Structure 1
Amino acid sequence: MSFIPPFPTPHKSKSSFVLRFLRGWRSWLDVLFERSYRMKMGEIWQPGFNIYMINEPKWVRRILVEKAGEYPKHELMHRMLEPLLGSSIFTTNGAVWERQRRLVDQALEQARLKQVFPLMQDSVNDMLSRLDTQADGQPYEVDAEMTYVTADIIFRTILSEKLDGQDAHDIYDAFVEFQGHAQRAMMLMIYRLPAYFPRRASERSAQKIRTILSRLIAARYEKRAKGEDDAQDILSALMDARDPVSGDGFSYEEMVDQICMLFLAGHETSASALGWSLYLMSRCPDLQERMSAEIQSEIGERAFAFGDAKRLPMTRDVFREALRLYPPVGFFVREASETQCIRNKTVKAGSPIMISPWLIHRHRELWERPDEFDPDRFETAAGKESLKCAYMPFSNGPRVCPGAAFATQEALLILASIVRSFHIGIVDGFEPKPVGRVTIRSGNGIWLRLTRRVAPVQGVTCAAGQRDRVECGQ
């Protein structure tokens, strides 16, 4: 039987002005209506401006790729995320962004994936040890664990520090708080209402995270000043990076903003996608066995090595499908730099233009069975075509996520390691409730049951193009 994982039931028609505010206060997903998933372009009236939702692939490509410079990030995104990310490449525009991106790309190029892979593996081994203590078949909330392991990976690869349990707990709680406050501040700003109190609350939550990171960055600056810093990590590469145009590097304040951005992009988005991946896998025992068979055939019981990800197409497609159904960042907001006509609508200069991976990934005209979990879809001609024109979990164009390859390697290593060691089972009566804020998380967590695998799975390998269609239990 087919498996359609949970998502907020769209309303029959567009919400009224007031009802849209009330529904969006908790989650922007709750505002969507049936036509949202079929339309090519939508228009939402707000006080003083209209918001335009673009789903048509050719216009999405124009805005994100072909004419990206004419559609900078909207001020709303900066105002919502500035308490946590400061003026980093996630929020800046123009010459400031171009300089920052050159420096960040240079640093990430120096810290190559192969170089940081052993650090990822160490974090994953520690995660497996923690999970082993929970593999007793009892309900276990995996969202916090996925946040822990992805944050630990970022700490080790960026800062050469192992994340301790208390810091992991504090970061997880602070970001949950930040998401809620930032969402409410965003709604108030859209409605031209005072956003002082949620804004201040989001600043307090963000400061908890920035304090932890600033402490470690400041310590490294002190060691470098004394000539004692010999770490070979991303922070070191960022401190060494020099802009080929201006010749300068990041100031300390800029460095804190960029590290906070890399930390959010490198752990929160990955943690969200991994939590959803594990839930989807829990509903499909047969899929887990196929993944385990592939791992045993290609890797066996040896330690995972750099480059193994390309030997695991089943694991790759499970993660790819989780990103399609639950893209960590559910919408991007751009700004029309000049008045123009888009699909017979006059879009005034300064108008917010929203491009939503959540909607595009589930669009009724762009995907077959769009709400169904089917990692095998990417092996079909239709799936490959949709992948080209209607898939953007890491955005697209010049502002594509610079850590996309990092996140993919990390996720495949984590998922393959878990499947090789554990069976993932459902918790009777539990269903996650997707909530759209800064990222798309489950509002009631993700609860699963873990049990240890007794022996390697024996069976036929699942080569790409030779798979049976996934069949999942309800």
Structure 2
Amino acid sequence: MIPPKPFASERRKGVARYANAFRQDLLSALPAKLFRAWMAEFRSFPIHSFLCNDPDLVSLVLRERPGDFPKSNRLREGLAPLLGRSVFVTNGEEWQRQRRIIDPAFEGGRLRDVFPHISGAAQAAVARLGAGGEMDIEPFTSHAAADVIFRTLFSIPIEDRLAADVFAAFRAHQDAQPIVNPAALIPLPGWLPRLHSRRTRVTARQIRALITQLVDQRAQEIAQGNAPDDLATKIMTMPDPETGEKFSPPEMVDQVAIFFLAGHETSASSLAWALWLLATSPDWQSRVADEAGQILGESPAFSDVSRLKLSRAVFRESLRLYPPVPMMVREAACPEHFRDRQVPKGAQIVLSPWHLHRHERLWDNPDGFDPGRWDSENGRDCARRAFIPFSAGARVCPGAGFAMLEGPLILSMILRDYRLEPTDEIPVPVARLTLRGKDGIRVRISPRAPV
């Protein structure tokens, strides 16, 4: 089976039609020719955008000259009620200061430190599957990914009352929030009220109020000297090496909000699609299950994860076919010249993992599910040049290493104990806050018979 993707129209649209189409579904709103084009220019007043699939342009924007292509201010229009001025939406010195404080908490040695939290969440997730049955796998993976975030950030499982409230509020916010706010398409003056729905504003306030409780509670524990040595403590006590300043409580609320959004939503999306892909590929499912049975014991060790090569390949292939964040937007800080086109200052530079990862002139069998591709010459080349599920360069996601530890581990632990089968309902990917199934992602799960 060829993994599903939404139908993409070739019909040209004006700004009004694009605005309406983007609010409904970002993926099908764009033309199919983008899976073949190196670059495309869109000019519908007041929008002037360049979508870049040329790997050299992607590298220029993300790796070589990121300072000349800051994140577009339009990006935060739809996310501002929730994320405030978190590291995800800021630029310049403000962003640099935030990364100087955040990055040490995510350095390599921390993976080993947080592994017990991740392993504990994975074991709890497997236990929740119980006798299995037919189910929408997205709520399950959301629950599992949220549990990882709560344990690694605040040393509390999702069963904690406050953690459960935050999780429920995030689910409601995702349902309420379109991926594109009208102000992201049409520049508005700062004094003009933004057109966020009432439900979006209400759910964002609920989430931030709950996160404030977590941050205030941790601040008290730090002051009393009995705070656990987890990510929240690490970040809240880390001074900026240049100024000596630490995050204020409101700044920490902003950062925790993006950690939940980026770490929870993206991991949940990738894991759900990986499970569905394995349900439709019995051969790869058997291979991953066999690998897990040979390597993982009752209580997995940190060193086991590096040996889960098949599970890692499947998870990478899921990230390729269904990148959790399907598009990234930068802005040209000065006039540029891309592929014989003049790019004016202020133009939107769109980098689309959704199109880049399936580009017909880059990948062999671009729409097919083939975890073995990563050992091929084409796969290795594209991994370097055309694979950006966590962005790249200076603004690469600081939690990328955590995701590549968490995803294959949970996947392997599920496949070790359970068998997956597809249902008659084929999921349709749609871009909301992350790439999810339009009507869920359904699979049939049953306990795997002991060997």
TM-score, normalised with respect to structure 1:
0.90
Aligned to 1:468: none
Q: 2:152 aligns with which of 129, 148, 157?
A: 157
Q: Which amino acid aligns with 1:238?
A: I
Structure 1 contact 319–412 (Cα < 8 Å) conserved: yes
Structure 2 contact 183–194 (Cα < 8 Å) conserved: no
Question: How far apart are residue 46 of structure 1 and its match?
Answer: 3.0
Describe how 1:78-227 pairs up with structure 2 within 5 A.
78-109=76-107, 112-133=110-131, 135=132, 138-164=133-159, 171=166, 174-179=169-174, 181-183=176-178, 186-191=181-186, 196-225=194-223, 227=224
Q: In the aligned structure 2, how far is the partner of 1:370 from the partner of 1:195?
A: 43
Structure 2 contact 323–353 (Cα < 8 Å) conserved: yes
1:437 paired to 2:432: yes
**Distance change in 2, residues 1:176/1:296 (3 Å):** closer
**Distance change in 2, residues 1:118/1:189 (3 Å):** closer
Structure 1 contact 291–419 (Cα < 8 Å) conserved: yes
Mean CA deviation greater in 119-128 or 17-26: 17-26
Aligned to 1:245: 242
State the aligned residue count: 448
Q: Which amino acid aligns with 1:73?
A: K
Structure 1 contact 5–373 (Cα < 8 Å) conserved: yes
Aligned to 1:295: 292
Aligned to 1:465: none
Q: 1:278 aligns with which of 251, 275, 278?
A: 275
Question: How far apart are residue 16 of structure 1 and its match?
Answer: 4.0
Q: In the aligned structure 2, how far is the partner of 1:211 from the partner of 1:447?
A: 33
Question: How far apart are residue 230 of structure 1 and its match?
Answer: 3.0
Aligned to 1:351: 347
Q: In the aligned structure 2, how far is the partner of 1:91 from the partner of 1:201?
A: 22
Percent identity for Structure 1 against Structure 2: 36
SS in 2 for 1:25: helix
Q: Which amino acid aligns with 1:4?
A: I
| RMSD (Å) for aligned C-alpha atoms | 2.0
Aligned to 1:338: 334
Question: How far apart are residue 174 of structure 1 and its match?
Answer: 3.8
SS in 2 for 1:448: strand
Aligned to 1:370: 366
Q: Deviations over 1:314-352 (max 9, x none)?
A: 100000000000000111110100112211222111111
Q: Which amino acid aligns with 2:333?
A: S
Question: How far apart are residue 110 of structure 1 and its match?
Answer: 8.7
Question: How far apart are residue 370 of structure 1 and its match?
Answer: 0.6
Question: How far apart are residue 20 of structure 1 and its match?
Answer: 2.5
Q: In the aligned structure 1, how far is the partner of 2:267 from the partner of 2:285?
A: 20
Mean CA deviation greater in 18-27 or 346-355: 18-27
1:256 paired to 2:253: yes
Structure 2 contact 47–186 (Cα < 8 Å) conserved: no
Unpaired runs of 5+ residues, structure 2, are none
Structure 2 contact 427–437 (Cα < 8 Å) conserved: yes
Question: How far apart are residue 164 of structure 1 and its match?
Answer: 2.2
1:312 paired to 2:304: no
Unpaired runs of 5+ residues, structure 1, are 457-474
Q: Which amino acid aligns with 2:410?
A: I
Question: How far apart are residue 195 of structure 1 and its match?
Answer: 7.4
Q: 1:235 aligns with which of 232, 237, 253?
A: 232
1:265 paired to 2:262: yes
Q: Deviations over 1:74-115 (max 9, x none)?
A: 001122222112111111100010010010012223971111
SS in 1 for 2:233: helix
SS in 1 for 2:21: helix
Q: 2:10 aligns with which of 12, 16, 30?
A: 12
Q: In the aligned structure 1, how far is the partner of 2:216 from the partner of 2:108?
A: 22
Q: Which amino acid aligns with 2:312?
A: R
Structure 2 contact 77–183 (Cα < 8 Å) conserved: no
